[in-house]
Each structure stands twice: as C-alpha cells, then as structure tokens.
C-alpha cells in the first residue's frame, strides 16, 4: 500500500456518536484509513496528536463576510482566517452584501471575491420580493442555500411579502435547497421601533423592547406553514427565545423539514449583561431575559435545535460603540470564538463533546446536503479536522481576533477551557500550533458541487403558481399557450 501523505497518530477521534483512540491516514484531500493506534504503517508526514481530541471541522452555516460593499468591516481573507483559527472548516456566507446576492451576476461576482477563502464555503442566494425570477438562475449559478430576511437587519433589505415567500418556496422546493430564515416579523418591529424612537428612547434595552419574542414566534409559525404547504426545506436562524421552540417543535412533529440553530450569545448572555456591555451586545435578534438560556440549552441537548452557528457579523469598533442603539451595528464576530466557547460549555458539563460534534458538524452537513463529504470522520470523507486541547485555558481577547477590522466581542475577557490547536482543510493544515498557515489563502472551494439534496415532498404543487401559469413547459410555452 502506498504511504499516506499524512498520518495523525495518538489522538482521540470524536464523532457525533462516540469517541475512540485511533490513527488517521490522509491521502490527498480525504481520510483514507482509520485504525487502532500504531496499525496504519508509513506516511510522508507523521503528526503526533497524543493527548489531543480530533473532531470533524465545524461547519458554520451563518457567517457574514461583507464583501462586496462593506469590506471595511471584513473580507473573505480575514473572515476565513478567523474560521481556520477557530477550527471551522466550512462556512455558509450570507447575501446581505452590497449589492445583495440576489442575481446570478451578483453571485458570480461573490464567487470571484471568495477566491481568497482559506476554508471551504457555500454562498447563500437571496430570496426577496423582487428577485423571484432570479431564483432558478441562482441555483444554476451555484447557490448552496437561500436566505430570506423576514425582518430587517444590517443592510436593511426589505422583507418579502408572504405572497412572494410562497412563490419563492415553491420554486426552491423543487431543487431541495434549504431556505434559511431570519425569522423576525418586520412589521411588528418597525411599528414598535417607531414608537420607541418617537418617545426618545435609544438605550441598549430599547432594542430588545422593539423586538419581543412574539416577532420570532409569528415568523417561525408563518414560515413553517409555507414550508409545509410547499415541501420546501427550511432552517430557522439564530433562535433567541424559548417561545419560538413551540412552533418549531410542532412543525417538526408534523413532518416539516425544518431545522434550527442558536448561537453562543443566546446561550451565554442575557439582559443582565446589557449594562456592562452597552451597544456591544446589540444583535438581531436581541439577547433576552435569563430564563431563555436554560430552555435553549435543553433544546440543543434534546435535538429540537440541531445546529450551533455564529451569525458572525463583523462591524468596526466605532460602528459597534455608537451610543444611539438604533444606529449601532448589530452583531459581532463569532466564527473564531465558537469552538472555544462551546468547548468551555463542554468542560462545564452543559453538553457532551459528542453532542457538540453533532450540532457543529454532523447536523449542519446533513441539513445542507454535505454528507458524506463533510461533517464526519470517516473513510472517504474530506480530511477537515479540528484538533483540540480540551485542557487548554485561555482568555478571549478581542485584540487578537483575525477579523482585523472588527475586533469587538461581548466575550472579551471570558476565560475558557478547550481550544483548537490545529485545523486541517481537505488534508492541509490551515492553522498549526495556533498560527495561521499563510499559504492557506485561496485554498477554499465552494461546496455546491458536493451537495446532495433529498428530493422535496411537494404537498400542494398543483396549486403552485408555476403549475397554474404554466411557466414550466420544457419547450418554453406556458400552459395557457398550450391550451390555446
């Protein structure tokens, strides 16, 4: 047998189902062998992982890398450097750039900008009121998933009407791409924010007052109904409240293909942190009252919330620290601190390491069509690995973030136990001994060619606009023309 390119010896492999001591042989970009320690023979390079844990690299399905249009906050180089440093080997990047990723042309432009990526990525296409006729083109152009802003946030993209959403869901359902939802209902928030602003309110907690959990309950319910009707596969982004778990669970119980994610800030921060953090804590949806946290942890452990993601949302320190809460930037960088924070939660006994692998790697890969290539440590899978020291104690320091222009995080100063020491992307180190591998720049590839989507189960396809208007005739004629 030819020698492996790389043999990782002495580590403990952790999957979503269990852990075991094993050596890993890597050939080219993939895992070629997994064997009991000492059994795998020779290799060009041997890497000693004794005492360390080897996890599938995390897949963060929710990052904002800002280019084009807001590269003064972040770009693909800095954003994916942060991912590599955080043990994150795949990211899905959001379409609220300028221009938004709403057309095949904008998508092609973003692919060019992503050519500096250091880890693999998927690009979100936008589902909006005015681009329903672009959705097929976005899919053909390589969109890995879709994003629908039911509520306003950075970029102030208008939220589509429920009518436009329904047609968009009908179109996307045929292809199986997942539609990720910013599930906050815009009209409720606009109404409340206007009244709060008119009353002169502009403190950090007023932002929470404009976005009570009812905005999320309403949006999750509505999106789930549309998903059920059309067979579209949907994903609820950044679940912030215990309240939206009920409509999520109900939809899951009815068989709707609906997944959910939460982010470290909703698990680890609450209203008690607003005074200390000021506008730095601002994020959409907002961090809420303390009681939500326990229910979100429980939902992560019982599987209701299947994914952990970051909503990595870089803004400059000046943009973040605006004392007028309506003007302050929403969100903060997260892709670099995700695994340290979650490993610390493992150390504290909040979830098991295997469950962290499930929510950070296996489930995201499953939900977004990346199995068997990513999300697991298995023969034939990409050698996307995060090699972890569970005992390492560090303090999160925003001045050291690789999101160079957005060095602000509400977790600054937090002491954490557990740290990725090395990250491999398709068999190559992109971070080694806590140092970014400079030559990793440009290695990242789009995952859209790997994706395997399950065929959708359309429920009401006979009532879809496409079937009523006949726009699907393969010869280009409409139903009306065929009947004439």
Answer for which of 67, 311, 319, 398 binds ligand DOR (CB under 6 A) is: 311
Q: Which region among 48-56, 307-315, 405-413, 419-427 touches Zn ion (by CB under 5 A)?
A: 307-315
Q: Which region among 197-205, 221-229, 303-311, 416-424 touches Zn ion (by CB under 5 A)?
A: 303-311
Least distance in angstroms from the C-beta of 409 to ligand DOR: 13
Instruction: Measure Cα distances from 143 to 18, 413, 464 in Å.
Output: 33, 38, 23
Q: 19-27 and 30-35: which strand pairing?
A: antiparallel
Residue among 80, 72, 66, 35 nearest 441 (CA): 80
User: Which listed option, ligand DOR, Zn ion, none, makes contact with residue 330 (CB within 5 to 8 Å by class)?
Assistant: ligand DOR
**Residue number with CB closer to Zn ion (149 or 362):** 149
- Long-range contact pairs involving 66-71 (C-beta distance under 8 Å, separation at least 24): 66/97, 66/314, 67/97, 67/110, 67/113, 68/97, 68/98, 68/99, 68/109, 68/110, 68/113, 69/97, 69/98, 69/99, 70/97, 70/98
Least distance in angstroms from the C-beta of 171 to ligand DOR: 23
Size of the site for ligand DOR (CB under 6 A): 11
Q: How far is CA 348 from the centre of its chain?
A: 24
Contacting ligand DOR within 197-216 (CB under 6 A): none
Q: What is the dihedral of CA 274, 278, 280, 284, to 10 degrees?
A: 60
Q: Binding string, 327-356, against ligand DOR, x = CB under 6 A?
A: ---xx-------------------------
Least distance in angstroms from the C-beta of 226 to ligand DOR: 20
Answer for which of 53, 64, 147, 174 binds ligand DOR (CB under 6 A) is: 64
The whole-angstrom separation of Cα 284 and Cα 302 is 25
User: Which listed option, Zn ion, ligand DOR, none, makes contact with residue 284 (CB within 5 to 8 Å by class)?
Assistant: ligand DOR
Least distance in angstroms from the C-beta of 226 to Zn ion: 20
Both tokens of residue 268?
A: 């680890």
Least distance in angstroms from the C-beta of 331 to ligand DOR: 3
**Residue number with CB closer to Zn ion (53 or 238):** 238
SS3 label, residue 408:
coil
User: Which listed option, ligand DOR, Zn ion, none, makes contact with residue 172 (CB within 5 to 8 Å by class)?
Assistant: none
Contacting ligand DOR within 274-293 (CB under 6 A): 283-284
Least distance in angstroms from the C-beta of 427 to Zn ion: 30
Residue spans of beta strands (DSSP E) within 357-432: 385-395, 415-425, 428-432
Contacting ligand DOR within 140-199 (CB under 6 A): 153-154, 182
Least distance in angstroms from the C-beta of 3 to ligand DOR: 46
Angle of the 245-253 helix axis to the 214-230 helix axis, nearest 10: 20
Least distance in angstroms from the C-beta of 153 to ligand DOR: 4
Find the radius of gyration of the CA atoms of the chain. 22
Which element (helix H / strand E) includes 235?
Answer: strand 233-236
The 3-state secondary structure of 48-116 reads: ECCCCEEEECEEEEEECCCCCCCCCCCCHHHHHHHHHHCCEEEEEECCCCCCCCCCHHHHHHHHHHHHH
- Give the up-direction half-sphere exposure of residue 367: CA atoms within 13 A in the CB hemisphere: 32
Answer yes or no whether residue 311 interacts with Zn ion by CB under 5 A: yes
User: Which listed option, Zn ion, ligand DOR, none, makes contact with residue 383 (CB within 5 to 8 Å by class)?
Assistant: none
Answer for which of 8, 83, 189, 313 binds ligand DOR (CB under 6 A) is: 313
Binding-site ranges for ligand DOR (CB under 6 A): 64, 96, 153-154, 182, 283-284, 311, 313, 330-331
Binding-site ranges for Zn ion (CB under 5 A): 311
């Amino acid at each position: 047998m030819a020698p492996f390119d790389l043999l990782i010896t002495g580590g403990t492999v952790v999957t979503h189902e269990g852990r075991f001591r094993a050596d890993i042989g890597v050939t080219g970009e993939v895992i070629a062998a997994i064997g009991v320690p000492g059994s795998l023979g020779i290799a060009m390079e041997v890497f000693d992982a004794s005492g360390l844990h080897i996890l599938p690299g995390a897949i963060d399905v929710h990052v904002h890398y800002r280019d084009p249009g807001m590269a003064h906050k972040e770009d693909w180089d800095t954003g994916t450097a942060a991912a590599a440093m955080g043990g994150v080997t795949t990211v899905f990047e959001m379409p609220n750039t300028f221009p938004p990723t709403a057309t095949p042309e904008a998508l092609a432009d973003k692919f060019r900008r992503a050519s500096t990526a250091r880890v693999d990525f998927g690009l979100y296409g936008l589902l909006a009121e005015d681009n329903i006729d672009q959705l097929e083109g976005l899919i053909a152009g390589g969109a890995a998933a879709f994003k629908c802003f039911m509520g306003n946030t950075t970029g102030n993209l208008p939220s589509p009407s429920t009518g436009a959403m329904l047609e968009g869901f009908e179109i996307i359902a045929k292809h199986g791409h997942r539609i990720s939802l910013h599930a906050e209902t815009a009209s409720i928030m606009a109404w409340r924010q206007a009244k709060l602003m008119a009353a002169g309110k502009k403190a950090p907690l007023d932002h929470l007052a404009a976005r009570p959990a009812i905005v999320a309950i309403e949006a999750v319910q509505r999106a789930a109904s549309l998903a059920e009707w059309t067979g579209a596969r949907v994903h609820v982004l950044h679940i912030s409240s215990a309240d939206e778990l009920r409509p999520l669970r109900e939809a899951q119980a009815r068989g709707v293909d609906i997944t959910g994610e939460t982010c470290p800030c909703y698990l680890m921060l609450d209203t008690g942190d607003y005074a200390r953090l000021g506008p730095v804590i601002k994020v959409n949806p907002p961090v809420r009252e303390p009681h939500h946290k326990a229910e979100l942890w429980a939902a992560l452990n019982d599987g209701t919330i299947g994914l952990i993601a970051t909503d990595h949302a870089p803004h400059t320190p000046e943009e973040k620290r605006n004392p007028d809460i309506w003007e302050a930037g929403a969100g903060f960088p997260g892709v670099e601190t995700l695994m340290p924070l979650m490993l610390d939660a493992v150390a504290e006994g909040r979830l098991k390491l295997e469950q962290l692998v499930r929510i950070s790697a296996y489930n995201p890969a499953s939900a977004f069509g990346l199995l068997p290539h990513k999300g697991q440590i298995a023969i034939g899978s990409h050698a996307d690995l995060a090699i972890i020291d569970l005992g390492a104690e560090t303090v999160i320091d925003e001045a050291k973030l690789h999101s160079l222009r957005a060095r602000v995080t509400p977790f600054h100063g937090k002491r954490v136990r557990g740290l990725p020491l090395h990250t491999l992307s398709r068999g190559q180190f992109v971070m080694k001994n806590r140092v970014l591998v400079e030559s990793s720049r440009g290695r990242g590839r789009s995952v859209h060619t790997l994706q395997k989507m399950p065929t959708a189960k359309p429920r009401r396809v006979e009532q879809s606009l496409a079937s009523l208007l006949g726009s699907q005739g393969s010869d280009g004629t409409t139903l009306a023309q065929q009947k004439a």
